Amino acid sequence: MTADIVAKRVTNLLAPQVLVIAMPPIVGLVAQGWAGAVWGLVASAFCGGVPAAVIAVGVRSGRLDSHHIVDRARRTGPLLSAVAAVLVALALLVVMGAPTLLLATVTAMLAALAVTVPITLRWKISFHAAVSAGTVVVFAHVLPAWPTAIAGAAVVGLVCWARVRLTHHTWAQVAAGTVVGTLTTWGTLTAFGV
């Protein structure tokens, strides 16, 4: 298998929408059992499902180049829909009394978007790197921290390599995404005291 094929598979398997859909139910399950997983599914539907659907429609209509939105100029609409979907998810979870850890996780998604969206309007920061790094921080809060952080760092490194290998980003762009995803997620979870 060539390096480009591996990079494409990593990019697809660990795409932001995949992680944002998969992470909340897992976090909910680990933190609060099956009831937590159900709360996580609500978060997944809005935070990951809605933006993924918007992107899929954009790709089918020809307005977007791919579900990775390589063309930075085309990112604004899908990203604003993601912000709106995360805000709706957060409001629903608050009103419905969702667990604090899930509220913190969704708020961390919003915080990361608040930083990355303005940056990507001028410079192509890596959402793959930001979301994968943020996912590792969340998992390190609910699983054994050091083993999760070490394994997660390897996964984030692989994601960054894949994005650079495919020439979708530079090393500076993936490094910036990693820093933003890590710091916004860690800061949000810390602020929530989870």
- What residue spans define the domains of the chain? 3-192
Give the Cα separation of 25 and 88 in Å (integer): 17
* CA neighbours closer than 13 Å in the CB half-sphere of residue 93: 29
What are the tens digits of pLDDT across the range 159-175? 999 999 999 999 999 99
The encoded tokens of residue 74 equal 């085309």
For residue 12, pLDDT beyond 90: yes
For residue 192, pLDDT beyond 90: yes
Angle at 104 between CA 102 and CA 110, to 5 degrees: 110
The pTM of this model reads 0.92
Q: Helix, strand or coil for residue 168? A: coil
Phi first, then psi, for residue 41 (nearest 5°) are -65, -35
DSSP conformation class of 71: S
Please name the helix (run of DSSP H) or strand (run of DSSP E) that holds residue 2, with its range, or none.
none
Comparing 75 with 47, which gets the higher pLDDT?
47
Comparing 118 with 71, which gets the higher pLDDT?
118
Q: Are 36 and 192 in contact (CB under 8 A)?
A: no
Mean pLDDT, to the nearest integer, of 177-190?
98
> Most confidently modeled of 23-32, 95-104, 107-116?
107-116
Mean pLDDT, to the nearest integer, of 5-24?
95
> What residues contact 63, with CB distance under 8 A and at least 6 apart?
74
Least Cα distance to 122 among 173, 167, 49, 84 occurs for: 173
